[in-house]
Amino acid sequence: MNFRQIDTDASSGTFSKLETLSKTAFETLSFTFTRRHLEHLASIAHDSTNSPNDRLVASFLLKNAVTAAHGILPLCQDTGTAQIFAWKDEGVLTGCDDTAALASGARKAWKDRN
């Protein structure tokens, strides 16, 4: 089997690429929705056939998206939750604690951007 090594520097307590990947992903996902998702929320908010509650929730999500787009408060400003779903092929070696590296990247994104 061929293995693929992802550079890390576990001896100095840094996770380099895996941590950077997590930080970049969290910064992107925490502050922006896709255009398609924004259009979908707008259609819900403006469709009078939807329930008042659905329209209200969609409108608040759009307001949060405007605030988040300025890069100060994230989209999760109402919940404060961060979830990481990660998959790694068995042929990929990182040489570090993947969970710790991903969590560290998310933590750095939160600390640097809030």
100 neighbors 10 (Cβ within 8 angstroms)? no
pLDDT of residue 4: 58
Confidence of residue 43 (pLDDT cuts 50, 70, 90): very high
Mean predicted confidence (pLDDT) in 31-41: 93
Q: How far apart are CA 90 and CA 98, in angstroms?
A: 13
Would you say residue 94 has pLDDT above 90?
no
pLDDT digits (tens, 9 = 90+) for 17-27: 888 889 988 88
pLDDT of residue 112: 84
Element (H, E) at 93: strand 92-93
Percent of the chain residues past pLDDT 70, beyond the cut: 83
Query: To the nearest 10°, the Cα dihedral for 94, 96, 100, 105?
Result: -60
Confidence of residue 76 (pLDDT cuts 50, 70, 90): confident
Alpha-carbon distance values, 61 to 2, 15, 17, 26, 51 (Å): 45, 34, 32, 18, 16
Q: Return phi, psi of residue 16, to 5°.
A: 45, -110
